[in-house]
Structure 1
Amino acid sequence: MPKEDSSVKRKHNQQLKRDQIWNALVFLLENKPIEKISIQNICDIAKVHRTTFYNHFYDIYDLLGYGTEQMVSGLIPDDILDFNTDAMSANIIHYISRYRNVLANITKTGFKDELFTITDNAFEKYLYKTIAAAKEAYSLKIPIHVIAKFYCAGLSQLLFWWVSNREMSEEELKSQVDEIIQLIKKSCIN
């Protein structure tokens, strides 16, 4: 096997192992706060040895940082480059449904600020790219990066409010997400 192929295979295997360990933590976070989860618990679920864990992550918070980036990257896929209300709503609702307990448990930790920052950055990247793509229709005098920061802060706060608001149905959530996306679109693009 050529050296290049073996290197690619090794990177792929490392990624699979990291994901396996992250998925074990997600499984545990569904029902437990992070302070009640040990490295050994994660290794037992992931079916890996502790040394494998430490080959990939420094500690549980390093794993949490890695996994949070992975989790949030699915919130807004790169292929959504417009104010496609249905696609955005579907992604946000899927994200909340899939990770509600995990996010709730993470927000009870010292990692909460980092989670908010990662989420803000995902929303900001999406809003900036979307508004910039329609630059000729952009009607505000405020620079695009400023308006993107403004709206993403609100979207992030709402996302975490929706996570904790267990009484809200998916239909209500979808309706609110749709309205907010339309509000952003109307205020930025004529």
Structure 2
Amino acid sequence: MKYEITSYNTKRMLAESLKKLLCRRPLSKVTVSEIVADCKVNRKTFYYHFEDLYSLLKWMLEQEAIEVVRNMDLIIDYEEAILFVLDYIEENYKMLSNICGSVGRDELKRFFYADFIGICRTLIYRIEEFEHLSVNEEFKEFLSKFYTEGITGILLDFIQHREELDRQKVVDYISLLIHTSIKSVLQTAAEGRSPDL
């Protein structure tokens, strides 16, 4: 147990150093030497925990996602969840922008996707239950993925074109779509008006 805590703390320290460096420059300009010097550990320690900078980045993003989800577990209102993530983007804009520039949209998409797939599933199941509907599980999963893809795409656009997008409009538009369309789609599916639903 003590070893696990020490190992986690070492990983966390390396991740914090990477995060700090990513606020200043892209991943391609960050070196393992800088990270180990900042953390006052040797290269062997770094490579004991991580294969390379990309595996550290992946671990860091997974940990950030866990923190975001942990904070969102208390949030029932999806508008608040969207605002929470937009706040996270604002607070970590420079880092996220540099990550997006270095590893591309796909890596960041996985980060946001992990957060929103659970929220979308929960919302779809709650609406189904509240409306006393019965919808095919496969279709509900498809619907969860569909909305998650849309939301994560918009969030990535928000990172890449923050100046061009109005934060409140992003929240309002996503909320309008979620509020009006999920219920309607579930009702249509439950009534069997679509093939194989």
The question of a shared fold, defined as TM-score above 0.5 by the shorter chain, is answered with: yes
Matches within 5 A, 1:52-131: 52-77=45-70, 79-80=73-74, 82-85=76-79, 87-110=80-103, 112-131=105-124
With normalisation by structure 2, the TM-score equals: 0.79
- Counterpart amino acid of 1:45? D
Partner of 2:183: 189
Aligned-partner residue type, residue 149 of structure 1:
K
Segments ≥4 residues shifted beyond 6 Å? none
Distance 1:101 1:40, change over 3 A: same
Corresponding residue of 1:3: none
Shift of 1:80: 4.2
Report the Cα offset of residue 117 of structure 1: 2.4
| Preserved CA contact (<8 Å) 1:21 1:42 | yes
- The answer for the alignment partner of 2:18 in structure 1 is 25
How far apart are 1:83 and its partner, in Å? 3.4
Cα separation, partners in 2 of 1:161 and 1:112, compared to 1, 3 Å: closer
Q: Which residue of 2 aligns with 1:42?
A: 35
Which residue pairs with 1:177 in the alignment? 171
Q: What is the TM-score with the length of structure 1 in the denominator?
A: 0.82
The alpha-carbon distance between structure 1 residues 56 and 82, as it changes in their structure 2 partners (threshold 3 A), is: same
Contact (CA 8 Å) 2:113, 2:148: kept in 1 or not? yes
Single out whichever of 70-79 and 132-141 deviates more from structure 2: 132-141
CA distance in 1 between partners of 2:24 and 2:142 (Å): 38
Count the aligned residue pairs. 180
| Deviation of the 1:98 alpha carbon | 2.0
**CA RMSD, Structure 1 to Structure 2 (Å):** 2.4
Distance, in Å, in 1 between the alignment partners of 2:179 and 2:74 is: 14
What are the ranges of 5 or more consecutive residues in structure 1 without an aligned counterpart? 1-7
Q: Percent identity?
A: 26
**1:135 deviation in Å?**
2.5
Distance (Å, rounded) in 2 between the aligned partners of 1:63 and 1:189 = 41
CA-CA distance at 1:154 after TM superposition: 1.2
Shift of 1:44: 1.6
Shift of residue 147, structure 1, vs aligned partner: 1.1
Partner of 2:187: none
